[in-house]
Chain A
Amino acid sequence: MRREVPLIITILVGTVLIISVFIPPLESLGESFTLFFDIIAVFAFFLGGGNLVRVHVLKLAKKKRDWPFSIVTLVGFGVMLAAGLFKIGNPGDIAASVTAEGSLFNMIYRNVFVPLGSTMYALLAFFVASASYRAFRAKNREATILLVAAFIILLGSTPFGAWLTIWMPESMSILEIPNLAVWIMSSPNMAGQRAIMIGIGLGVVSMSLRLILGIERSYLGEDGA
């Protein structure tokens, strides 16, 4: 009962959806099912939010390390939730968009959420540098290939790339760094991408099949198969 029902559900739903692709009257099934997800996901939000609050309240109660910061989280969570659910400061009535200009929700979003997010994203500029310093070293053949490819592309995206090989004759122009960079991007790079894509495509297909056939059950909390 505990194990079988979920498996049956998976098999049933999966098969129906595969068939639906070939049966025009059932084509819209996929969309409505994906709409069902969003609804289930909203219920899941309660789980998530509940868990978040629980974790931080426990941290507070047990006075764990950095407990004062849990207050920040809880306050931020509470305020944003209130602002969103009760549409505080939203122009117009209850039908107005929750992210409407001038609402508290929108204000917090633009002045807290966005700067935090985009700065976090911008840290990548630094990490890209430190990563290439650490990792692009000619340890072995593979690493060397990686290094050389990256090096040419990097050089190719600066004006220096062009100056370094300006002396090359037209008949060798493919070897000029900018062209070489272009060629690498459009030829070997393309090939590698495609190989991975085909692999992933098949992997997904076969994994889906395993799920539908009930072979793969890890998602039900069973180890391996």
Chain B
Amino acid sequence: MKNLKWFVLAAVCILFAVSWFAKASGGDGVDNSVLDAFLVTLAAFLTLAIMSFLYQDNPYYKFAEHLFVGVSAAYWMCLGFWSTVVGNLFPRISEGLSNFFLVPYQPGPLNFFFAIPIILGILLLMRLSPKGGWLSRWPLAFIVGTTAGLNFVRYLRSDFVKQISSTFVPLVVDWQGFGHFFSNISLTAGGPLVMMLTNLVIFIGVFCGIVYFFFSKEHTGVFGKASRVGIWILMITFGASFGYTVMGRISLLVGRLTFLFTDWLGIIG
């Protein structure tokens, strides 16, 4: 059993080599350069390595995972450096640096403000020193304070105020008297009855939903019943959204398999 591992490894290596060779020599009809052949094979190999996780944790998954972690960490660091530091910071603080990186120098009266993030950034790095760790809380306080300030108003504006105004829906739609209503009463989709039902459900649903989120009142009696209905509404919401998302998730898998079948194996398309 011990050396089964090595057999598998050997098999994987051989397959990799074969695929590389086949792609390069145009074995699949398409003629790629040696590099492209390698890259496609690599991509396919990594794809399968991740999928192998479905069976159980294994060295190939571990390999893919660790590679992914390393590469992705570096990826975002590089983007951050070029877009933010070179793109936004240098042009505002130093003419020399902007000239070196060939970005347009943007002198301005308010640029000295950009000392703030730099200082805070340095303070953040202070935590690497055993003594000044507590200084790293200042930039944090700044960040939190800012978002708190922004969120406070933004949410009052959009979510709160707007949601209230959008809950103004008349329950009764094109009412033409009871006679008319009952004479052609039906459950046709989009019929008057269904429309009313929809509005009613939305209104009661929102109402009970909010009741469920009351924290400082015991959920007993009528209040408790309302909050119970609230939970049911929420459960419908969750069940429905779950079912609704499935389709999107399947599409993702279709996408990956299409890559394997088309770009790598070239058996369909």
Contacts and interface: CB of A to CB of B under 8 A. Distances in A.
**Which interface class (under 10, 10 to 19, 20 to 34, 35 or more) fits B?**
35 or more
Contact of A190 (B84, B121, B202): B202
Given A34-B146, A113-B71, A43 B122 contact: yes
Report whether over half of chain A's contact residues are helix, strand or loop; otherwise say mixed.
helix
A91 interface: no
B225 interface: no
A172 B145 CA distance: 56
A77 B42 CA distance: 18
Nearest to B193: A174
Nearest to A192: B237
B141 interface: yes
A225 interface: no
A44 B124 contact: yes
Contacts of A208: 147-149, 151-152, 155
B155 A39 contact: no
B82 interface: yes
Interface string A99-139: 10000010111111111111111111110100010000000
26 contacts: A6-B141, A13-B145, A14-B152, A17-B145, A18-B153, A30-B150, A40-B117, A76-B70, A77-B70, A77-B71, A84-B74, A84-B81, A84-B82, A94-B100, A119-B46, A119-B51, A119-B256, A145-B236, A149-B238, A153-B239, A187-B202, A187-B205, A192-B209, A193-B237, A194-B167, A204-B151
A162 interface: no
A212 B145 contact: yes
B145 A150 contact: no
Contact of A118 (B148, B158, B208, B255): B255
Interface of A: 2, 5-7, 9-18, 20-21, 30, 32-50, 52, 66, 69-70, 72-81, 83-85, 93-95, 98-99, 105, 107-126, 128, 132, 141-143, 145-154, 157, 170-176, 179, 182-202, 204-205, 207-209, 211-212, 219-221
A76 B74 contact: yes
B70 A6 contact: no
B201 A188 contact: yes
A100 B152 CA distance: 40
Contact of A188 (B44, B64, B69, B237): B237
Interface SS, B side: helix
B189 A150 contact: no
Given A108-B71, A149-B235, A42 B148 contact: no
Nearest to A209: B152
Interface stretch (B5-13, B21-29, B132-140): B132-140
B207 to A, nearest CB: 8
A174 to B, nearest CB: 5
B188 A77 contact: no
A47 B67 contact: no
Nearest to A182: B189
Contact of B88 (A38, A117, A122): A38
Contacts of B208: 195
A108 B203 CA distance: 52
Given A128-B245, A173-B189, A205-B151, A219 B144 contact: yes
Given A39-B118, A48-B73, 11 more contacts: A6-B138, A13-B146, A14-B146, A18-B153, A34-B150, A47-B125, A78-B70, A132-B242, A173-B189, A191-B205, A198-B209
Contacts of A79: 71, 74
B155 A18 contact: no
Contacts of B100: 94
Contact of B137 (A6, A66, A72, A112): A6
A113 B214 CA distance: 44
Interface string B183-207: 0001111010010011001111110
A179 B198 CA distance: 13
Nearest to B161: A201
B186 A171 contact: yes
A176 to B, nearest CB: 8
A52 B69 CA distance: 9
Please provide the 6 A-B residue pairs with the shortest distance between their CB atoms, ordered closest to farther: A195-B209, A191-B205, A84-B78, A17-B149, A192-B237, A201-B159
